[in-house]
Amino acid sequence: MDPAPCQIAGFEFAAVLDRYVRPLERYENELYRPPDGGLSHLGYWEGPPDQGWMYEWRKLAGWGGGIHWGAYGLMWLAEAPGTEQPVIDPEAVAQGILDSMPREPVEIGLAPTPLEQNPDSIGLVGAPVWMWVADPETTTWGPLEESVTVGGVTVTVTTTVEQVQWDMGDGGSITCGTPGREYRVAYGVRDSPDCGYRYEHTSRDQPGTAYRVSATSTWTATWTATTGASGALDAEPLTSTVQVRIGERQTIEIG
C-alpha cells in the first residue's frame, strides 16, 4: 500500500498535531476564531484577536481505496504547523553578530619611529615616547553597529574601543582611553599630552636589541533586542606589535 499522503486536498499533515489541518478561509476564520468567534467558549486564546488562525483538522482513519476520514473538528493555532518560530536566544544572536563584525587591531603610531618603519631609528632613555593609534577608523576604534532579525526579533549590537593598553616591552604599561595624539617634529622634545611614556633603560639586552611594544585594544560591546532584553558581550581584545630601539646618550669627557 502506498504511504499516506502528506497533503490531501488542501489538508496538510502536521506531525506535531498528529492530524491533517487546513486553514479556514478568511470569512470562516472571522466566524470561529477566539476571542469573539463561535468557538470562544473553548477559551483557548486570550491574546490579541488578530493573532493565530482557525484550522479545520481531520484524523485519517485509513486510505485503502480512497481516503477514509476519522475524527474532525476545528482548532485555533498560534502558528501554522511546521512554521513555529525557533526559540531565539538574543544574547547568542548578539554574540554571533559581534563575531562577524570587522574589528581590526590598531595600527601603532610611535615616536621614536618603530623599527618596522625605520630600522635605523633609535630613541633615548628618559626621552618622551609618544603613542597613538595611526588609523582611528570605525574598524579599529569604533563605534560599530549592526542589527540582525531572527524569528521576528531584531538584535542590535554596538561595539567601540574602551581603551588601549600599551605594553612597552620593558615591563611597563600605559593605558590610554583615547587614540592619542600623533607626534610631529615641530613639537620638539615634550611629553605626549594624553598617551606617553619614558624608558628608563636601553633595549640592548632585548632580543634584537629592541623593545617589543604591543597595543591591545579593549572593546566594549552591548546588545539590545526588540523584546526589550539587553546585555553586554565579551569582545576579544585585539593586539598589534612593533619594535622600538632605545639607547642612551653617550657623554665623552675630554679632558
List interacting residues with another protein (CB under 8 A).
Answer: 2, 4-5, 8-10, 25-27, 30-31, 38, 56, 58, 61, 63-69, 72
Q: Select 10 or 151, whichever has its Cβ closest to another protein.
A: 10
Per-residue burial over 76-109, b if 16 or more Cβ lie within 10 Å, else e, is bbeeebeeeeeebebbebbbebbeebebebbebb
Please report how close the Cβ of residue 13 comes to another protein at its closest, in angstroms: 12
Phi/psi at 167 (5° precision) = -95, 115
Residue 153 in contact with residue 197, Cβ under 8 Å? Answer: no
Please report how close the Cβ of residue 151 comes to another protein at its closest, in angstroms: 33
Q: Strand 246-247 to strand 123-124: parallel, antiparallel, or no bridges (unpaired)? A: parallel
Please report how close the Cβ of residue 232 comes to another protein at its closest, in angstroms: 52
Q: Select 24 or 244, whichever has its Cβ closest to another protein.
A: 24
Q: Select 38 or 247, whichever has its Cβ closest to another protein.
A: 38
Q: What are the C-alpha distances in Å from 113 to residues 119, 220, 250?
A: 9, 30, 20
Grid coordinates representing 123 are: 630613541
Q: Select 14 or 31, whichever has its Cβ closest to another protein.
A: 31
Please report how close the Cβ of residue 26 comes to another protein at its closest, in angstroms: 7
Q: Select 4 or 232, whichever has its Cβ closest to another protein.
A: 4
Residue 115 in contact with residue 245, Cβ under 8 Å? Answer: yes
Per-residue burial over 188-221, b if 16 or more Cβ lie within 10 Å, else e, is eeeebeebbbebeebbeebeeebbbbbbbbebbb
What's the CA gap between 224 and 236, in Å, rounded? 19
Count other C-beta atoms under 10 Å from residue 151's C-beta: 12
What's the CA gap between 142 and 139, in Å, rounded? 6
Please report how close the Cβ of residue 18 comes to another protein at its closest, in angstroms: 17
Please report how close the Cβ of residue 143 comes to another protein at its closest, in angstroms: 53
Q: Select 38 or 237, whichever has its Cβ closest to another protein.
A: 38
